[in-house]
Amino acid sequence: MGPRGLLFIWLGWWTHRHIRRIVAGSAIIMVLTAIIGFRVFPRLGGEGFNGPASRFG
């Protein structure tokens, strides 16, 4: 078993020992990205792309 195998064994052990922290951190990241994502919706236009340099504008 090479160094990569030992790295993955260590990573698996660490993940098993800290599963609650990993789940809590993932939940926090998901909530933060949802907040950022919902703030974008009011800024989107419903008419499509209307760029000033566009041939179709």
Phi-psi region of 19 (alpha: psi -120 to 50; beta: other; left: phi over 0): alpha
Q: How confident is the model at residue 3 (pLDDT cuts 50, 70, 90)?
A: confident
Better-predicted residue by pLDDT, 13 or 1 = 13
Q: DSSP character for 41?
A: G
What's the whole-model pTM score? 0.60
Contact 15, 22 (CB under 8 A): yes
Better-predicted residue by pLDDT, 52 or 3 = 3
Residue 1 confidence (pLDDT): 72
Total count of residues recorded for the chain:
57
pLDDT per residue over 13-55, tens digit each?
999 999 999 999 999 999 999 999 998 877 776 666 666 766 6
